[in-house]
Structure 1
């Protein structure tokens, strides 16, 4: 079972996984650095514990560690208990959620492997905002998407802010990188996917009229502001839009994605009668 250890010294070397989280060039979750996964808050930590990511350690105030006792019981990892003040000195800011966990990265599927086991995918180009990326993963989980493929210019989904905004769903929704761009889209086409580029341009087909509810569909989504590049749009089989009224011509990429995921039939065909996730997003 987890080894609960009380920590009083913020300089304790055993807390290295959690140190200086606000310092960009020393962050332990940078892909070019130690490449750790950092989960924040009881709900997100629970999802990390249930994920394939190998847990290394936890750090939290006593009541948060106690709230996780049942989940920690079968694990052989250290759970460090400290005061809120000691935690703030270690991580570099006051942590409202009261608990952190660190993990090593899991082996990711290849883009080909993910496509082979999927019918509905989102393919992202240039989504560099960590909060948008986290929201996209949360929407994908909520609406039953099979996975996400990351094209050029996308930020790291396992960056702490993305993990937090996704409510930990980035740890359970499969993703892979699509290194060849936009040529890698041909692999999806060869596997029977219709590739649909989402754009606000008036000449695009209204999403509901594009006939994407049948067969495999891969939805291309671009960055906030510029959207998809011309080469990505030209590589698509169909260009689609979400009809809007008034003077609004576009939506936040995560909001637009949620609408599109639902319109693809993912949300509407999803089994809403299933039992509630025991790590539901209620505030804790």
Structure 2
């Protein structure tokens, strides 16, 4: 059973994991280097725990001790109980959900391990690839889409935002813990890994050679092959190297003079359109 510790000093060194949570650059450096991430809110904390991530500590307002009692009883990490004002002084913002947990990261697996997992019944057949998505909210929303719409894995270019940054985790509602993911080491050269594993690489973009998403979905349903959907930044889109390496260019047909969607919205549309269908359904 975890020990409940009442803390009334915002400078207490035991609260270091939670200091300066609004300082994005600081947290980007600290969290991966120190092997931690922050889960915020009861649902997200529970999903992180259920996914098997080890707890370093919890920071709770008194009202959350009861609702999270089962988590507290199962944990071996310290639980720091603080009043809301002190939590705000430590973190830098009003912790309106009243519950934070510092969790231990695990080493990222190799791309091949994500595509051919030893601990899952089947290999990945539909994956999402994101290039240089630096907005944490967009990335978190994309992970939530991937979990909801049956994507087997998410692969990130080296410059993508951290899916375990607090904002990404919060927006995803913990879906970042449900979908296997990792980063490519070399980009876009590592697209070759996808091709060697039998994936058709489909780049979502605007180009003269682009087929419609409906056409891609129809082919995927007929061929039942492996599919990698590649998404770029909302402004610049995919880089020339990725476009050159892709097997297909794909566009989402749109009306009213709109030429593109937010990357999170585009991913939801693409994931839904290419989802596996029961036999006999178009």
Query: What TM-score, normalized to structure 1?
Result: 0.89
Q: Does 1:200 align with 2:210?
A: no
Match of residue 106 from structure 1: 106
Query: How many pairs are equivalent?
Result: 268
**Counterparts in 2 of 1:261 and 1:152: CA distance versus 1, 3 Å:** same
| 1:26-83: CA deviation from partner (whole Å, max 9, x where unpaired) | 4387356424200111111111111232110000111123211123322211111111
Match of residue 128 from structure 1: 134
Aligned counterparts of 1:173 and 1:15: Cα–Cα separation in 2: 30
Q: Does 1:259 align with 2:269?
A: yes
Select the residue among 235, 260, 270 that pairs with 1:250.
Answer: 260
**Counterparts in 2 of 1:27 and 1:183: CA distance versus 1, 3 Å:** closer
Match of residue 84 from structure 2: 84
Q: Is the 8 A contact 2:35 2:106 kept in 1?
A: no
Aligned counterparts of 2:28 and 2:238: Cα–Cα separation in 1: 31
Aligned counterparts of 1:61 and 1:84: Cα–Cα separation in 2: 6
Aligned counterparts of 1:100 and 1:181: Cα–Cα separation in 2: 35
Match of residue 10 from structure 2: 10
Residue 180 of structure 1 and its aligned partner are, at CA, apart by 2.0
| 1:81-133: CA deviation from partner (whole Å, max 9, x where unpaired) | 11101111111121111110001111222101112231110111111111111
Match of residue 220 from structure 2: 212
Q: Does 1:51 align with 2:51?
A: yes
Aligned counterparts of 1:109 and 1:244: Cα–Cα separation in 2: 37
Aligned counterparts of 1:201 and 1:60: Cα–Cα separation in 2: 51
Q: Is the 8 A contact 1:127 1:155 kept in 2?
A: yes
Aligned counterparts of 2:158 and 2:104: Cα–Cα separation in 1: 24
The root-mean-square deviation of aligned C-alpha atoms, in Å, is 1.7
Secondary structure, in 3 states, of the residue corresponding to 2:9?
Answer: coil
Detail structure 1 runs of 4+ shifted over 6 Å in the superposition: none
Aligned counterparts of 1:159 and 1:29: Cα–Cα separation in 2: 11
Unmatched 5+ stretches in structure 2: 117-122
Of the structure 1 ranges 67-76 and 21-30, higher mean CA displacement relative to structure 2 is found in: 21-30
Query: What TM-score, normalized to structure 2?
Result: 0.89
Q: Is the 8 A contact 2:31 2:37 kept in 1?
A: no
Of the structure 1 ranges 20-29 and 212-221, higher mean CA displacement relative to structure 2 is found in: 20-29
Q: Is the 8 A contact 2:150 2:275 kept in 1?
A: no
Alignment of structure 1 residues 267-282 onto 2, 5 Å: none
Residue 21 of structure 1 and its aligned partner are, at CA, apart by 1.4
Alignment of structure 1 residues 130-169 onto 2, 5 Å: 130-169=136-175
Secondary structure, in 3 states, of the residue corresponding to 1:27?
Answer: helix
Aligned counterparts of 1:28 and 1:241: Cα–Cα separation in 2: 33
| 1:223-248: CA deviation from partner (whole Å, max 9, x where unpaired) | 11111112101111111111111111
Q: Is the 8 A contact 2:7 2:80 kept in 1?
A: yes
Aligned counterparts of 1:25 and 1:226: Cα–Cα separation in 2: 23
Match of residue 30 from structure 2: 30
